[in-house]
Structure 1
Amino acid sequence: MSHIVTPIFNGENYGFWRIKMKTIFQTKKLWEIVEGGVPNPPAQGDHSPEAVQQKIRCDEASLKDLTALQILQTAVSDSIFPRIAPASNAREAWNALKSEFEGSQQVKMIKLQSLRREYENLKMNDSDSINTFTTKLIEVGNQLRLHGEEKPDYQMVQKILISLPEKFDSIVGVLEQTKDLTVLSVTELIGTLKAHEKRISVREEQSREGAFYGEKNVKTSIKRRLRSGVPFANETITMKVIVGRRRTKVFLHSK
């Protein structure tokens, strides 16, 4: 079995650290001890078969508890360790961190409301890439899940589609006509949007190059005509060359 790397909690992103640690404890069959603690030992002087079995189970649980406590102590930074140093068992140490960094129910509700507003207000700007925007959206969605509010794929898909700028209108229309958006995964949608974004980028680059060479050819033609001394038909000629979104004017005056 490969060695499991224990994540170190330094006071940031407690929710993610908690999920990772819970998984580690579950793989080592220690989560029941961390969550519920060690069962009470039998009464002193009780030598019944049931008490003997209970004593054995209690000793095994105590050993597991020490193992879990050791893992917790090595999973926090030196600045966090004083919070759990007084704890004599894993459950006590776990709850100490949970109480401080997860907060009360009221604190969690305030955080949840803040995350909801952030989620609703997220929009993709023209200068953003699909990767930048969707990474941020997924991050906020994960934070919402940590605070008890699930965001299923179909809701995330709808949120992404209504948050895109105009240049994605064509692909959004195609998706709405050809895909069942209730079963479309976020991963598939992001892949489709990235491919469309790449096509837009290639077309814009080709357009810029074509406009540049077009402008260059026009100016070269004008210079040749001026050098030849051939008069222009009109007193003033205005030639407009469009480069991307920039309009360049060249004014020619006859002699």
Structure 2
Amino acid sequence: MNFNGKNYAPWKARIKTLLQAKRLWGIVTRTELPPRRDARPDVVDSFWSREHEATAFLMTTLSDEMVIAVSNKTCAYEIFELLEKTYEPRNWGSLCALREQFVTLN
């Protein structure tokens, strides 16, 4: 399923589950931070390899329009943060509108 700007809630649920299964969710949410500059090279390489994997995974689940919208972001966290800030319901009105969309789908 590609995120197209209208299906954020189901896309987020799927992407979160898949990234958790791949042990990449912490990179996307920044609960796992990049290693310090003085970290061992293998630790640094491992982190950035996983960062690139998470970024690629996110990008492959976005529609062409969404890829263009996030193309100036350089890491998985920045991509996810932009999408979350833009599409995550934040207030009661947004939640009511989302509920109404859900009801009309059924």
Same fold (TM over 0.5): yes
Matched positions, count: 104
Where does structure 2 lack aligned partners over 5 or more consecutive residues? none
1:174-212 deviations in Å (ceiling 9; x for gaps): xxxxxxxxxxxxxxxxxxxxxxxxxxxxxxxxxxxxxxx
Where does structure 1 lack aligned partners over 5 or more consecutive residues? 1-6, 44-50, 119-134, 140-255
Equivalent of 1:67, from 32, 53, 69?
A: 53
Pair member with larger Rg = 1
Structure 2 Cα separation of the partners of residues 38 and 17 of structure 1: 24
Kindly tell me: are residues 16 and 35 of structure 1, through their superposed partners in 2, closer, same or farther at Cα, counting changes over 3 Å?
same
The answer to whether the 8 Å contact 1:10/1:79 transfers is yes
Deviation at 1:38, TM superposition (A): 4.0
Deviation at 1:115, TM superposition (A): 6.1
Structure 2 Cα separation of the partners of residues 62 and 77 of structure 1: 25
What TM-score do the two structures reach when normalised by structure 2? 0.81
Equivalent of 2:4, from 6, 10, 13?
A: 10
Structure 2 Cα separation of the partners of residues 19 and 41 of structure 1: 31
Equivalent of 1:111, from 88, 94, 102?
A: 94
Deviation at 1:136, TM superposition (A): 4.0
Between the two proteins, what is the percent identity of the paired residues? 29
Which one scores higher on RCO, CA 8 angstroms, separation ≥ 6?
2
The answer to whether the 8 Å contact 1:38/1:58 transfers is no
* Aligned equivalent of 2:18: 24
Equivalent of 1:78, from 64, 67, 77?
A: 64
Deviation at 1:56, TM superposition (A): 2.5
Structure 2 Cα separation of the partners of residues 95 and 68 of structure 1: 13
Residues 150-189 of structure 1: pairs in structure 2 closer than 5 A: none
What TM-score do the two structures reach when normalised by structure 1? 0.36
| 3-state DSSP of counterpart to 1:79 | helix
Deviation at 1:87, TM superposition (A): 1.3
* Larger strand fraction of residues: 1
1:82-104 deviations in Å (ceiling 9; x for gaps): 1211111111111111111115x
Which letter does structure 2 place at the counterpart of 1:71? F
Structure 1 Cα separation of the partners of residues 98 and 22 of structure 2: 34
Q: CA RMSD in A?
A: 2.5
Kindly tell me: are residues 95 and 57 of structure 1, through their superposed partners in 2, closer, same or farther at Cα, counting changes over 3 Å?
same
1:123-153 deviations in Å (ceiling 9; x for gaps): xxxxxxxxxxxx94996xxxxxxxxxxxxxx
Deviation at 1:109, TM superposition (A): 2.2
Residues 183-198 of structure 1: pairs in structure 2 closer than 5 A: none
